[in-house]
Each structure stands twice: as C-alpha cells, then as structure tokens.
Amino acid sequence: MASGFDALHDYLPARIGASAQLPWIPADTPGKYSKPLRFFADDRGFVELLRMDPGLAMPLHRHTGEVHAYNLSGTRQLCTGELIGPGDYVYEPPGNVDWWKIVGDEPMIALVVVMGAVEFLGPGGTVRLRATAQSQRAAYERYCRQQRRPALDLTDR
C-alpha cells in the first residue's frame, strides 16, 4: 500500500503552473499585458491573466468559442454599461461580440479562459487580427527569446 506523496500521486493535477515565474508580456497597446498560464493543444484555446491600465479599451471583438473571465482586481465597464469588479465572473458564449473599457484608477487583472479564437473586428465586421493559442504561444516564446529567458512548456497535451 502506498503512503504519503505516492498515495496522492493519482489525485494531483497533471501540470502545476508556477505563475509567479511567468512574465507579463506587453501587447502592442501600451498598458496592456498578458501572463500566459496554459495553451491548449490543437489551437483549442488558452488561459491567461490579462492586465490593463485604467482608461484602456478592449476594442470590438468576437469570440469563436466560449470565454470565462474572473476579475481579480480593478473594474471594467462592458459595452452594455455593466460594471465588472473584483470577484465578478463573466461568461461569454461562442459568437459573442462586444467591447469594454477599464474604469477607475486601478489596473484591471482578470483570469481569462478563452476557447477558440478572439477575432478583433474592423469596419464592416472584417477581422483585423486573431488571437489564438498559437499566436499567444508565439508571442510568449518571442518575448522570452528577446529577454534571454527560458520559455516554459505551457502547452496542454
């Protein structure tokens, strides 16, 4: 009979992420950062911490899959006028189109689980940019190379 740690091995998660060791990756938009936590295999989606400074807006975008977002700090105002603050959870179904902005004087940090892609929309609904597990992983690896730091394997197999 196994005891101690050996007995618990079958019940422990397959991967434990040390998020404190992961960098905040700056976006092209100043004041916007992401901290990747997991990239799902086969480009199914990704999990990240998203940080945005007060006054920034997440532009009009569409989700190809569902999104789960839990606000850890700061406040964002949805395009519907609803305020999402610390401890609030937002579910967005596949196909949801929205935009939102950071309000107040504190940066917003949210844990976000994105299934599928995020399509940023331009005039007439044209897709200007897509954020996918593959594009987010490439940005993380590029940042790590530039900073001369090892890129951890964050891909779910």
Asked if residue 142 belongs to a domain, the reply is yes
Look up the CATH number of the domain holding residue 43. 2.60.120.10
118-121: strand order across its sheet: 83-84, 75-78, 97-103, 57-63, 118-121, 127-131
Asked if residue 124 belongs to a domain, the reply is yes
Asked if residue 130 belongs to a domain, the reply is yes
Asked if residue 74 belongs to a domain, the reply is yes
Asked if residue 106 belongs to a domain, the reply is yes
Given a cut of 90, is residue 67 above it in pLDDT?
A: yes
101 in Cβ contact with 59 (< 8 Å): no
* Enclosing domain of residue 101: 26-147
pLDDT band at residue 20 under the 50/70/90 scheme: confident
Interatomic CA distance for residues 128 and 69, integer angstroms = 23
Asked if residue 4 belongs to a domain, the reply is no
Domains held by the chain: number: 1
pTM of the model: 0.87
Asked if residue 153 belongs to a domain, the reply is no
Angle at 119 between CA 157 and CA 124, to 5 degrees: 160
Rg (alpha carbons) of the chain, rounded to whole number = 17
Q: For the segment 125-154, what is each residue's pLDDT rounded down to a tens digit?
A: 999 999 999 999 999 999 999 999 999 889
Q: For the segment 86-116, what is each residue's pLDDT rounded down to a tens digit?
A: 999 999 999 999 999 999 999 999 999 999 9
pLDDT band at residue 40 under the 50/70/90 scheme: very high
Query: In the structure encoding, which two tokens stand for residue 30, read together?
Result: 């100043």
